[in-house]
A and B are shown apart, each in its own frame.
With several copies, the nearest count.
Chain A
Amino acid sequence: MNLNVTWAEAWIREGARVIAEHRAELNTLDRAIGDGDHGENMDRGFQAVVLKLDALPAGSTPGDVLKLVATTLISTVGGASGPLFGTAFLKAAVAVGTVGDLDAAAVAALIAAARDGIVLRGKAVVGDKTMIDAWTPAVDAAAAARNADASVVTLLQQAADAAAAGAVSTEPLVAHKGRASYLGERAIGHRDPGAESTTLLLRAAAETAARA
């Protein structure tokens, strides 16, 4: 089974729903080691995305959906996460190109391109206590699933699981990027909000793929 534009749209709508559902929780995570607005920022962006999706032209490709997500996040989120997630979706859109059906290889490439976009802008490495700590394990898990000829659904599930573990792995860390880096040792014990929202989005991708 491949994933088409219907999935892409479903993914993003489901992502918007779970971000809204976890808005307060993301704010709380960000309040502990940042400025308390991560849920607010992401929710503002994804609500705007949903409105735009309602007007998605017929015949759009998964890449069109990703591009729309990218430009909307860039122009509505602000903060650090806006340009970072925006660039992620922009690079992901470029990676999938204009194909209508995404196979496991394409989805693995999508996730890798997204991660690379974030690194390009934010220069974080694994262990810096950022969203990269969720994205990079997800990229690796997707690559492994792809090599093991897993289905696209399995691939996404394993990526989401890896992201979730990656988000948890940020808890004992001192931060080296973003606002949490100002806190030094006091950041220890708190989960990175961007890693958590990354997990929510990848989980939404997997669940909508399973239903596709």
Chain B
Amino acid sequence: MKKLINDPKNVVTEAVAGFAVAHPDLVRVSLDPIYIVRADAPVAGKVGIVSGGGSGHEPMHGGLVGVGMLDAAVPGAVFTSPTPDPILAATQAVDGGAGVLHIVKNYTGDVLNFETAADLALAEGIEVASVIINDDVAVKDSLYTAGRRGVAGTVLVEKIAGAAAERGDDLASVAAVAEKVNASVRSMGVALTPCVVPHAGKPSFTLADDEIEIGIGIHGEPGRERIKMEPADAIVDRLLGPILEDLPFASGDKVLLFVNGMGGTPQVELYVVFRRAAEALAEQGIDVTRTLVGNFTTSLEMQGMSISVLKLDDELTTLWDAPVATAALRWGR
């Protein structure tokens, strides 16, 4: 394992410190407890939005803090949900009096730690609503699992909820629109290579030179199925199948198509994937009216990608188009 780090124990702190010097116009950070807030937090009268989770998925969530998106991001250790203390501190730091929304990916650790933080915040008089994101169709949602995971669809929830909060929606409305996005987005991913967690120093799993892992999670967890390598177009079709069936998406739907890189995949490949995904949707009469391509929800240096499809209506489209100014996603200002 070779990594551009110093002591593995300090990776997250040093990265957040670096983030602060790199983006002083967008954010402020606290290093103990560790969190990132938008430069002008708290914004009086605006619903605050806090997300977080294990580190290693950058730019999610720190790179999504800024006007029109998150008010705060709380990074845990690599691939480990943060503890309640920094979540509480971040919640307090962004509370502008209109309450705070927690956007939580559906992992036992994230859910439990945010739950505790929300209880503590409530005890301090801050109104908190929580939305649990579970867009990953690779995991069956049933009584017999911890439920679907939250993956790249989280970025879309954060953008749209952020726009709703920015235009002044109240806490219940912001939570409702976040729920609506979560209910309308489906994702699935593939890994070509594993990733290496700094403190572990070895890959989270191994894949032969001709194998890929379908339905991969974003923490280096193995996926559901291991298959032989295929051409990109075939892989895209393999991921899109379960995604489209699940909602289900239908001919005539307007959608946002999001091809997310897992970190180590060259951009040319993401666009090769995007080309086929857009073509495949067109073949089914689904109308791609908004797009996003890039490394947003990553797994360190993992090679691979996920596809997310979000069903749009006028409200979601308007909120998607609204200005946003974060390190990783920016337009309109």
- Which stretch from A80-88, A105-113, A197-205 is at the chain B interface? A80-88
Q: How far is the CB of B214 from chain A (nearest CB, A)?
A: 12
- Which stretch from B218-226, B266-274, B279-287, B313-321 is at the chain A interface? B218-226
Most chain B Cβ neighbours within 10 Å, of A84, A182, A186: A182
B83 proximal to A (CB < 8 A)? yes
B91 proximal to A (CB < 8 A)? no
- Cross-chain contact B85 with A36 (CB below 8 angstroms): no
Instruction: State the CA gap A78–B204 with chains docked (Å).
Output: 19
- Cross-chain contact A183 with B221 (CB below 8 angstroms): yes
- Cross-chain contact B107 with A80 (CB below 8 angstroms): yes
Complex interface: chain B residues within 8 A of A40 (CB): 77, 80, 199-200
A208 proximal to B (CB < 8 A)? no
Instruction: State the CA gap A14–B329 with chains docked (Å).
Output: 48
A61-90, CB under 8 A of B: which get 1 and which 0?
Answer: 000000000000011111111111000000
- Cross-chain contact A74 with B219 (CB below 8 angstroms): no
- Cross-chain contact A177 with B204 (CB below 8 angstroms): no
- Cross-chain contact A177 with B82 (CB below 8 angstroms): no
A22 proximal to B (CB < 8 A)? no
- Cross-chain contact A35 with B79 (CB below 8 angstroms): yes
B68 proximal to A (CB < 8 A)? no
Instruction: State the CA gap A184–B146 with chains docked (Å).
Output: 11
Complex interface: chain B residues within 8 A of A41 (CB): 77, 80
Instruction: State the CA gap A186–B78 with chains docked (Å).
Output: 24
- Cross-chain contact A181 with B145 (CB below 8 angstroms): yes
A100 proximal to B (CB < 8 A)? no
- Cross-chain contact A27 with B200 (CB below 8 angstroms): yes
Closest residue of B by beta carbon distance from A81: B109
Instruction: State the CA gap A58–B84 with chains docked (Å).
Output: 29
Pick the residue among B82, B140, B146, B149 that contacts A78 (CB under 8 A): B82
Closest residue of A by beta carbon distance from B217: A182
- Cross-chain contact B145 with A121 (CB below 8 angstroms): no
- Cross-chain contact B116 with A83 (CB below 8 angstroms): yes
B331 proximal to A (CB < 8 A)? no
Closest residue of B by beta carbon distance from A121: B112
Mark out the residues of chain A between 182 and 198 whose CB falls within 8 Å of any chain B CB in the assembled complex: 182-184, 186
B164-205, CB under 8 A of A: which get 1 and which 0?
Answer: 000000000000000000000000000000000101100011
Provided the pairs A40-B80, A182-B224 are in contact, do residues A122 and B108 lie with their beta carbons within 8 angstroms?
A: yes
Number of interface residues of B (CB under 8 A): 37
Q: How far is the CB of B248 from chain A (nearest CB, A)?
A: 22
- Cross-chain contact B108 with A80 (CB below 8 angstroms): yes
In the complex, which range does the number of interface residues on chain A fall in?
20 to 34
- Cross-chain contact B204 with A31 (CB below 8 angstroms): yes
Complex interface: chain B residues within 8 A of A31 (CB): 200, 204-205
A17 proximal to B (CB < 8 A)? no
- Cross-chain contact B116 with A37 (CB below 8 angstroms): no
B76 proximal to A (CB < 8 A)? yes
- Cross-chain contact B80 with A37 (CB below 8 angstroms): yes
Most chain A Cβ neighbours within 10 Å, of B77, B115, B146: B146
- Cross-chain contact B109 with A80 (CB below 8 angstroms): yes
- Cross-chain contact A79 with B80 (CB below 8 angstroms): yes
- Cross-chain contact A74 with B83 (CB below 8 angstroms): yes
Mark out the residues of chain B between 45 and 82 whose CB falls within 8 Å of any chain A CB in the assembled complex: 54, 76-82
- Cross-chain contact A36 with B220 (CB below 8 angstroms): yes
Q: How far is the CB of A87 from chain B (nearest CB, A)?
A: 8
Provided the pairs A83-B113, A181-B146 are in contact, do residues A74 and B84 lie with their beta carbons within 8 angstroms?
A: yes
- Cross-chain contact B219 with A79 (CB below 8 angstroms): no
Pick the residue among B109, B205, B221 that contacts A182 (CB under 8 A): B221
Mark out the residues of chain A between 35 and 55 whose CB falls within 8 Å of any chain B CB in the assembled complex: 35-37, 40-41, 44
Instruction: State the CA gap A104–B77 with chains docked (Å).
Output: 39
Pick the residue among B77, B84, B112, B222 that contacts A84 (CB under 8 A): B112
Mark out the residues of chain B between 71 and 123 whose CB falls within 8 Å of any chain A CB in the assembled complex: 76-85, 107-109, 112-113, 115-116
Q: How far is the CB of B188 from chain A (nearest CB, A)?
A: 12
Pick the residue among A27, A82, A84, A179 that contacts B219 (CB under 8 A): A179
- Cross-chain contact A36 with B200 (CB below 8 angstroms): yes
Interface residues, chain B, with chain A CB atoms under 8 Å away: 54, 76-85, 107-109, 112-113, 115-116, 138-140, 143-146, 149, 197, 199-200, 204-205, 217, 219-222, 224
Sorted nearest first, the 8 A-B pairs with minimum C-beta distance are A83-B112, A80-B108, A79-B109, A35-B219, A80-B109, A181-B145, A79-B80, A78-B80
Interface residues, chain A, with chain B CB atoms under 8 Å away: 27, 31, 33-37, 40-41, 44, 74-84, 121-122, 174, 176-179, 181-184, 186
Can you list 9 A-B pairs, Cβ within 8 angstroms, ordered by A?
A27-B200, A41-B77, A75-B83, A75-B84, A78-B80, A79-B54, A181-B144, A182-B224, A183-B222
